[in-house]
Amino acid sequence: MRKMEQYRIESDLLGELEVPANAYYGVQTQRAINNFNISGQRLFSYPEFINALAYIKKGAAKTNYELGLLEENLYQNIIKACDKVISGKYNQEFPIDMIQGGAGTSVNMNANEVIANITLELLGHQKGEYQYCSPNDHINLSQSTNDVYPSAIKIALYNMNKVLVEKLKLIIEAFRQKGIAFQDVIKMGRTQLQDAVPMTMGQEFEAFAATLEEDIEKLNNNALLFVEVNMGATAIGTGLNAPKGYAKRCAENLAEITGIPIVSAPDLVEATPDTGAYVIYSSAMKRMAVKLSKICNDLRLLSSGPRAGLYEINLPPMQPGSSIMPGKVNPVIPEVVNQVCYKVIGNDLTVTFAAEAGQLQLNVMEPVLCHAIMENIHFLCNALDTLREKCVSGITANKEVCLNMVKHSIGIVTALNPYIGYKNSTKIAKEALETGKSVYNLVIEHQLLSQEKLDEILDPKNMLNPHNKFTV
C-alpha cells in the first residue's frame, strides 16, 4: 500500500490530484502526464526548449517588476529560480509528452509550476504552498499560453539553428578537404547514369561542399524570422490582463536576457495564430535534407562493387553487411542518413498541415509543429556528425579504376565535337560501341584529326576546362 507521505495533494478546476511529494511540477503537469502518452519524447528531451521557457518567464518577471506588478523579494527569487532552470538542474521536472492537446497549455503550466516551486523553496516555503508564489498569479502574470508557448518555441529554434548550422559547416569542410585531396583523381562524370565527360573527383567532392554551403544562408535567414515574438498578446492578441507598454518592454528585456535581437510583433492579433515562420524554416531544412540525401545516394553509387559496380571510392567499413554473404560490407552510414532525410521531408509535411490547421485567433496544432521541427534539427545534427565522422573523413579514392574508366569511355568523344562536328562524333561513338574499337584509333583511322592534335584534345587533363577550338 502506497504511503500518503510520498505524495502531496494539489487542486485545479477539475478537483484534487496526487502529485509526487518531491516533484517540482504540480497538478496541471500531472494531468498532462496522465493524459498524453503519445510520442515517447518528453519535454526534457529538448533542453533548449526548457531554457527558452525559463528565459520567457525571466523576461516576463523583469517586465512585471519594472511595471510595479511584482514586489522586489518575490521578483528576485523568481529570477533565481529561472536561472536554476536554465542551468539544466531541473530538466527532469519537465516530463510531459511533446505532443499534447491544449495548444501548449501543459508546457506553459509545467514551466509555471516548476519555477513557482523552486521559488517557494528559495523563500523558505514548501512545495505546493502557492499562496506565497502562485504558478498562475505570479509566474504567469501578464501572460497566456498563447503568447508564452510560441515565443518560447521561437527562442528555442533560433538557438537550435545555431547548433545545426555549426554541424553543417563541419561536414562542408570535410567534403572540401576531400575535394583538395582528390583534385588529381581524373574520373568520368555521368548524366542519367551514362558516361558523360571527364572531371576530377576533387570537383565532385567540392560540389558536395558547395551545394550544402548554400543552405547556411537559407537556414540563418529563415531563423531570423523567429526573433519576432507575441509576448504581451495574452489570449488572442488584444493584450487583455497585461499592463500598457508590456509587450514592447518584455521584448526588450528578452533581447537583453537572451542576446537574441528579439522584437515585439507589430500586430499581436495577427502574430498570435501566425505560424508562417515555422513553415519557411521547416522548408529550408527540407531543402538541405533533399540535397544531403542526394549526396548520400551518390556516395553509395560511387562505392558500389567492389567487383561489379563503379568502385571509384572506398567508404570506411563499419560493420559486416550480411548474415548470409561472407565478405559483404554495406554503405550503412549513407543509408542511415538517407533515412533521416526522409524523416525530415515527412516532418515538413506535418508542419505544413499543422500550420494550415490554425483557426481564427489561435493555432492549437503548435505542439506537433514544434515537435516536428525540433525533432528534425535533433536528427539532422546527429546525422551530419555521423556522416562526417564515420564516413566522409575516411573516404579514399580508387585512382587507377577511375583513370581506366576515362580511357575506355565512349564519353570522351564529346570533346571532339568542336573539331570534327557532332555528326562525325556520333558516327565515331556508334562505331566504337559496335566494334569495341577505341575512339582514339577510329578518329585516326578515318583521318579526322592528326595524332598529335588528338593526343592534345583527348588528354583527360585538357578536358577538365573550357576548350577553344580556334587554337587548332
Fold held by 148-226+262-399: Fumarase C; Chain A, domain 2 (1.20.200)
Q: Are 121 and 127 in contact (CB under 8 A)?
A: yes
Measured CA to CA, the distance from residue 281 to residue 263 in angstroms comes to: 18
**How confident is residue 470, by pLDDT bands cut at 50, 70 and 90?**
very low
**How confident is residue 406, by pLDDT bands cut at 50, 70 and 90?**
confident
**Rounded average pLDDT over 81-88:** 97
Summary count for the chain: helices (H), strands (E): 15, 8
3-state secondary structure of 235: coil
**How confident is residue 439, by pLDDT bands cut at 50, 70 and 90?**
confident
Q: Are 315 and 395 in contact (CB under 8 A)?
A: yes
* pLDDT over 90 (residue 134): yes
**How confident is residue 472, by pLDDT bands cut at 50, 70 and 90?**
very low
203-212, 314-323, 360-369, 371-380, range with the lowest pLDDT: 314-323
For the four alpha carbons of 42, 46, 52 and 55, in that order, the dihedral sign comes to positive
Please give the angle made by the CA atoms of 357, 358 and 364, to the nearest 5 degrees. Answer: 95
10 Å Cβ neighbour count for 272? 23
Query: Which pLDDT score is estimated for 417?
Result: 85
For the four alpha carbons of 333, 335, 340 and 344, in that order, the dihedral sign comes to positive
Measured CA to CA, the distance from residue 247 to residue 127 in angstroms comes to: 31
Query: Which pLDDT score is estimated for 432?
Result: 87
Measured CA to CA, the distance from residue 247 to residue 265 in angstroms comes to: 9
**Residues in the chain, total:** 472
Q: Are 40 and 98 in contact (CB under 8 A)?
A: no
CA distances from 202 to 22, 145, 179, 397 (A): 60, 52, 4, 10
Query: Which pLDDT score is estimated for 413?
Result: 82
ω into residue 306 within 30 of 0, thus cis? yes
**Is the pLDDT higher at 467 or at 22?**
22
**Is the pLDDT higher at 83 or at 270?**
83
Query: Which pLDDT score is estimated for 1?
Result: 39
**Rounded average pLDDT over 317-332:** 72
CATH number for the region 24-141 comes to: 1.10.275.10
Per-domain boundaries in the chain: 24-141, 148-226+262-399, 409-471
Residue 66 corresponds to which amino acid?
E
Alpha helices in 198-267 (DSSP H): 201-223, 246-258
Query: Which pLDDT score is estimated for 391?
Result: 97
The pTM of this model reads 0.91
Q: What's the grid cell of residue 164?
A: 545545426
The DSSP-derived string for 161-213 is HHHHHHHHHHHHHHHHHHHHHTTT-EEEEEETTEEEEEEEHHHHHHHHHHHHH
3-state secondary structure of 359: strand
**Is the pLDDT higher at 79 or at 320?**
79
Query: Which pLDDT score is estimated for 80?
Result: 98
Query: Which pLDDT score is estimated for 320?
Result: 75
**Rounded average pLDDT over 260-279:** 93
Share of the chain above pLDDT 70, in %: 95
The partner residues of 471 in beta bridges, in order of sequence, read none
Query: Which pLDDT score is estimated for 162?
Result: 98
CATH number for the region 409-471 comes to: 1.10.40.30
10 Å Cβ neighbour count for 314? 16
* pLDDT over 90 (residue 54): yes
Name the phi and psi angles at 159, rounded to 5. Answer: -75, -35
What's the pLDDT tens digit per position in 230-265?
A: 999 998 989 898 999 999 999 999 999 999 999 999
Query: Which pLDDT score is estimated for 467?
Result: 61
As a whole number, the mean pLDDT across the chain is 92
* pLDDT over 70 (residue 460): no
Name the phi and psi angles at 197, rounded to 5. Answer: -135, 160
Q: What's the grid cell of residue 257?
A: 536576457
Query: Which pLDDT score is estimated for 87?
Result: 96
Query: Which pLDDT score is estimated for 196?
Result: 85
DSSP conformational letter for 137: I
Measured CA to CA, the distance from residue 262 to residue 246 in angstroms comes to: 14
**Rounded average pLDDT over 336-363:** 94
Measured CA to CA, the distance from residue 126 to residue 429 in angstroms comes to: 87
42-56, 271-285, 316-330, 358-372, range with the lowest pLDDT: 316-330
- Give yes or no on whether 24-141 and 409-471 have one common fold: no
Residues involved in catalysis: 322
